[in-house]
Structure 1
C-alpha cells in the first residue's frame, strides 16, 4: 500500500453534446466516442475504479476495461437544468444577463440547475474521502468535476474553474499525502502511454 493517494480522473469519451459544445444531458457515447473509450483499455492502472452514474461515464469505464466500477454521484457533471441540450452561445442570446451572472458568481445556478459552488463542494467532499493512503483510484467523470478537483487541489477560488480546459478521454492525476492534494498532471492523453 502506498503512503499517498493517487487519483486518476478520466473525462468521458465524446458524445453528441461534447461535439456540439452543448450543456449535456445524460446521454450515451456516440460511435466515435465508443472507439475512443475502447482506446483507453489497458492504458490505466488502478486498484479501484469509480464512475459517475451517467451513461457517458459508465460507458467509458466499461469500454476502458472497468466494467465493475462502483458508482459515486459526487462525480456527476454540474446539473445544467433548463440549459441542458443547448450551447452557451444559444443561452447567451436568450438570457445574456443570467449567463453573465452564472459565469461571474459561483453561487448562481442555471434555472432548475446546480450552482458551481455546489459542484465544487461535493467534489471536495469526495476528495476528502479518497485522500487516504492506499491503492490508486481511477474515476470516470465529466469535465466539470475534473476542473473542480483541480481547483480544490490548488486551493484556488471557485472562479478559477473557468480557466481550466479538460479534453474528452484525458487523464488528470492528483496525489494526496497527509491530507494535501497536488496536481501531478493535467489533461494528459492516457492512450499515449500508461498512467
Structure 2
C-alpha cells in the first residue's frame, strides 16, 4: 500500500471568523487574502514540477484560499463546514443570549444539534469516511477546509475520543500534515514551519 501525504489547510480569515459567527459563505476578507498570499509554496503544497491534488470545501473562502495558493481546487462536499442549521451566519453572542441552554447543550454534547443542522458526531462521520478513503492512495493532497473540519479530522486520524476536538485550536491558514500508510495516520508537527516565520 502506498503512502498518502495529506496537507489540511484552514482557509484564511473571513468576516464570519473575525465576528465569531456560525458558518456562512463569506469570501476572504482583505487580511485573509494578504495572509494567504504571504505563505510560501512549500507551506501550500506546491513544489516546482510537482503535481498536487487539491481539494476544497464548497465554501467561497476555501476555494479562494486554494486559488491564491496557485492550486486548482476540486470541490469536495465532505470537506464542507458543519451545517449549523438556523444558527448559520448568526453571532455566537446572539445565540448565547437568545438560547443559552441550546448553546450549552451543543457545546457539551457531540450528539446534539439544537440548531437543526449537523451534530459534531455527524461531522466526524462524514469527515472520517472521507479521510479513511484517502489513506494508502499514494497521492499528495492539499485539502483546504474549515478549522472545525480539521479539528474533527485530527480526532478521527488519531482515534481520539470525540470530545477532545475542542482541545485543538486551528487558526486560519494553519497547516496540519497527516501521513497515511496501512491502517493508521501519523500527525506531523514541524519544529519551525515557514508559515510561522516573520
Q: Does TM, scored on the shorter chain, surpass 0.5?
A: yes
Aligned residues: 190
1:1-195 aligned within 5 A: 3-40=2-39, 42-43=41-42, 44-45=44-45, 47-66=52-71, 68-185=72-189, 191-192=195-196
Distance 1:189 1:84 in 2: 34
Distance 2:8 2:18 in 1: 20
**CA shift for structure 1 position 40:** 2.6
Question: Is the 1:51–1:70 contact (alpha carbons within 8 Å) kept by the matching residues of 2?
Answer: yes
Question: Is the 1:174–1:182 contact (alpha carbons within 8 Å) kept by the matching residues of 2?
Answer: yes
Provide Cα deviations, 1:158-194, integer angstroms capped at 9, x if missing partner.
11111111000110111111020121128x865248x
Provide Cα deviations, 1:120-144, integer angstroms capped at 9, x if missing partner.
0011011111101412111000011
Question: Is the 1:171–1:190 contact (alpha carbons within 8 Å) kept by the matching residues of 2?
Answer: no
Question: Is the 2:66–2:144 contact (alpha carbons within 8 Å) kept by the matching residues of 1?
Answer: yes
Task: Provide runs of 4+ in structure 1 moved above 4 Å.
Answer: none
Question: Is the 1:174–1:185 contact (alpha carbons within 8 Å) kept by the matching residues of 2?
Answer: no
SS of the aligned residue for 1:108 comes to coil
Provide Cα deviations, 1:12-59, integer angstroms capped at 9, x if missing partner.
000001111221201111111111122235232262111111100000
* Structure 1: 5+ residue stretches without partners: none
Question: Is the 1:170–1:190 contact (alpha carbons within 8 Å) kept by the matching residues of 2?
Answer: no
If the length of structure 1 is used for normalisation, what is the TM-score? 0.90
CA RMSD of aligned residues (A): 1.9
SS of the aligned residue for 1:79 comes to coil
If the length of structure 2 is used for normalisation, what is the TM-score? 0.89
Question: Is the 2:40–2:194 contact (alpha carbons within 8 Å) kept by the matching residues of 1?
Answer: no
